[in-house]
Structure formats: structure tokens, C-alpha cells
Amino acid sequence: MGEHAGGEGPVLSRSRLVRLRQEEADLRARVQPLLDEHGLLPEHWRILAVVDDHPGITMTSLATSAVVAAASLTRHVDRLVELALVVRRIDPADRRRAVLALSSRGADLAARLLAAEEGSDVGTTSAGLADVTGRA
């Protein structure tokens, strides 16, 4: 990486963590207007995205997968249930556990948020994340 010539905007770093945070900031900027429109937080989007990919997920798995603190997960899920974006049901295999799925409204919003993530620089973020994580 060369020296920064005083130009505007972020500069690239050799640090994977810095590049990952830059990618996160870019993604957040793309989805924030839609989150604001629905009164949602970035944590809500992570929950919706994971539940969209894994219908029937348990709360324990969701906390880890969505990188949301277990202590606040129930509050976030309660909000999504209240907004009719997520459906919570008793796990038929273990009645002590709840499993989650998106409602049709939640699936529609998740699709819109995913499209917003792609933004106008389609492929840029995916390429950036591949660079950061070392995965294609």
C-alpha cells in the first residue's frame, strides 16, 4: 500500500480488520435509509438476513450467526415479531425452544434490504469481502 496523497475518502489498509470495517460502513450506508424507513436497527437487519437464510433457526444459533449479544436478542426479536416481520413458533422437536421464520412481509423487506446491500456498485462489496476474508 502506498502513502496517502491527501485525497478524499478512505484509504486501503493492509489490515484485514480495517478493510472489513470499511466494507461494513459501506454496506451500512446502503441499507440505513431503508432501515430508518422501517424504524429498524442494523441488528434487526442481521437477524432478518440470517432468518431468511435459515428458516426454523433457534434463538441460540441466531445469536451466534447474526452476531447479536444473547442478552439483547430477545428484545430485538420481540420487536421484529411486533412489526410482523418474524414469526416465532415452538420447536416441534423440543417444545422448550422457539424457532423463527420470516413472515411474507419480513421476506419482502429482507429482499429489499439485500438489494440495497448490493447498491450501485454491484459486485464491489462482494469482491471487497472476498479480499478481506480470503474467500471467493
Q: What is the pLDDT of residues 31-74, one digit of tens each?
A: 999 999 999 999 999 999 999 999 999 999 999 999 999 999 99
Report if residue 5 sits inside a domain: no
E strands, the chain, are 57-58, 86-91, 94-102
In a domain, 10, yes or no: no
Number of Cβ within a 10 Å radius of residue 79? 17
Range of the domain at 75: 16-124
pTM for this model (two decimals): 0.77
Tell me the pLDDT tens digit for each residue of 84-96: 999 999 988 899 9
In a domain, 129, yes or no: no
CATH assignment at residue 29: 1.10.10.10
